[in-house]
């Protein structure tokens, strides 16, 4: 009978220690953040004026941001980098997925701006032919912009005929 009491006291002590550890380590800022699925996509909806995260496994919306401007937007994403591009103004905004908020915004001042993102590298391509490397987290410029030459009015086949190539 005495062995059962000791076992019960030890088990009760272990449960109490686990409950305290769960209370200390299991609750905090990280648990207050929305848990978005790794398999998913951010999409802009014109009808509802929202940028939504759609779970790729269930097809259900599991997070969203309201788009109060109501203008056409493009969503460019690569991993945790989620950038919104306002087609008409050239404003670029970075979404912080864990907080469901816009964390940075920058005006690139070019309507029709294109963004290319891969990992920790991104490029902003101005329709006039300027390419600027940017940091996708801070949206700050990295280095000097590269100006591409203006497009030639000649057709490609005419230009290629002079060099004997295709």
Residue-wise pLDDT for 36-95, tens only, equals 545 778 787 776 677 888 888 888 888 777 766 667 788 888 877 888 888 888 889 898
Query: Per-residue confidence at 1, pLDDT binned at 50, 70, 90?
Result: low
Query: Per-residue confidence at 157, pLDDT binned at 50, 70, 90?
Result: very low
**Do 111 and 94 meet the contact criterion of CB atoms below 8 Å apart?**
no
Cα–Cα distance list, 76 to 42, 115, 136, 156 (Å): 8, 7, 10, 31
Q: How far does Cα 33 stand from its chain's mean position?
A: 16
pLDDT for 150 equals: 67
To which residue do tokens 């700050």 refer? 140
State residue 89 phi and psi, 5-degree precision.
Answer: -120, -25
To which residue do tokens 């009978």 refer? 1
Q: What is the pTM of this model?
A: 0.60
pLDDT for 55 equals: 81
Rounded Cα distance, 52 and 5, in Å: 56
| Share above pLDDT 90 across residues of the chain, in percent, rounded to a whole number | 7
């Amino acid at each position: 009978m005495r062995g059962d009491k000791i076992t019960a006291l030890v088990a009760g002590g272990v449960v109490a220690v686990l409950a305290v550890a769960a209370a200390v380590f299991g609750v905090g800022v990280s648990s207050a953040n929305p848990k978005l699925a790794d398999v998913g996509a951010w999409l802009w909806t014109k009808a509802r004026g929202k940028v939504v995260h759609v779970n790729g496994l269930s097809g259900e919306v599991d997070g969203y941001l309201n788009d109060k401007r109501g203008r056409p937007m493009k969503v460019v994403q690569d991993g945790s980098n989620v950038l919104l591009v306002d087609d008409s103004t050239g404003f670029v905004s970075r979404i912080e997925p864990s907080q469901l908020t816009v964390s940075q915004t920058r005006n690139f001042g070019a309507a029709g701006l294109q963004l290319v993102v891969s990992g920790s590298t991104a490029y902003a391509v101005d329709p006039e032919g300027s390419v600027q490397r940017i940091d996708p987290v801070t949206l700050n410029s990295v280095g000097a912009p590269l100006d591409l030459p203006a497009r030639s009015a000649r057709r490609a086949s005419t230009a290629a005929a002079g060099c004997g190539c295709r």
